[in-house]
Amino acid sequence: MELTKKRRCHILKNSICFVLVVVSVCCLSILIFSMLRLPDISLGSTSIHGEVFRREEIGKFAEMMIEMLPEDLAFTIFVPSVKAFDRELKLQVNDSLVGDNVNNTYAILSRILGFSAVPRTLSSIMVPFGEEISYDSLSGLTLYISKSSDGKLLVNRVESERLDLKKGKIVIHIMDGVIMDAEFEQSVQPDYNEGD
């Protein structure tokens, strides 16, 4: 009688362990498959979520920022859209990549890269609805990331335009604004006293 109680207890413990292992393996495989499903971009043309996406849609400045990161290391970068570069930094390709402006443009882009890149993979599905998560960027700026009800990411109050593009191990989110600290933002603002 004592032996059957021990045997039942042993069988019960083994079945609980078996169920826990199966559930853990299933959760891990779901996480791995969801990470592998991110679309991969090349900086030419490719298909993303069934739509054709051209290099011009990312923009030359975002392309330059992405090329500054090694493809074989995990990074997430929140790059400004073409309109955001023009609107907030007054950067336009035809003016910024000619003559003496090239070095200045690279300096600005490397600073923006430092503010907007985190050394980890962060797809939009990893950000829970109704919660805010935070990570330090390469430059040490804290990025506060949340997801709106329509699925867009908000990073330091800058809303996303396109999500979950991928190049190598780099996850790319196109933002409708430029993520930067207050000091750098002040330095790139136009000086209104120059005309006086």
Share of the chain above pLDDT 90, in %: 39
7 has a pLDDT exceeding 70: no
pTM, to two decimals = 0.69
Question: Model confidence over 27-86: pLDDT tens digits?
Answer: 777 767 665 655 555 444 443 433 334 455 678 888 889 999 988 899 999 999 989 988
Q: How sure is the predictor about 110, in pLDDT bands with cuts at 50, 70 and 90?
A: very high
Among residues 55, 62, 93, which one has the least CA distance to residue 77?
62
What CATH number corresponds to the domain at position 172? 2.30.180.10
160 has a pLDDT exceeding 60: yes
- Under 8 Å between Cβ of 125 and 34: yes
Among residues 144, 153, 161, 150, which one has the least CA distance to residue 126?
153
Residue 196 lies in a domain: no
**CA distances for 193 relative to 15, 144, 183, 188, angstroms:** 76, 34, 19, 14
Query: How many structural domains does the chain have?
Result: 1
Average pLDDT over residues 109-119: 95
Residue 93 lies in a domain: yes
Share of the chain above pLDDT 70, in %: 72
Average pLDDT over residues 150-169: 92
- Identify the domain containing residue 141 by its residue range: 38-188
Q: Round the CA-based radius of gyration of the chain to a whole number and report it.
A: 23
Residue 157 lies in a domain: yes
Of 184 and 145, the structure prediction assigns the larger pLDDT to 145
- Mean of the per-residue pLDDT values of the chain: 79
Task: List Cβ neighbours of 120 (8 Å cut-off, separation of 6 or more).
Answer: 74, 75, 76, 135
Residue 7 lies in a domain: no
Residue 4 lies in a domain: no
Of 55 and 146, the structure prediction assigns the larger pLDDT to 146
pLDDT at residue number 125? 92
Residue 5 lies in a domain: no
Average pLDDT over residues 123-134: 93
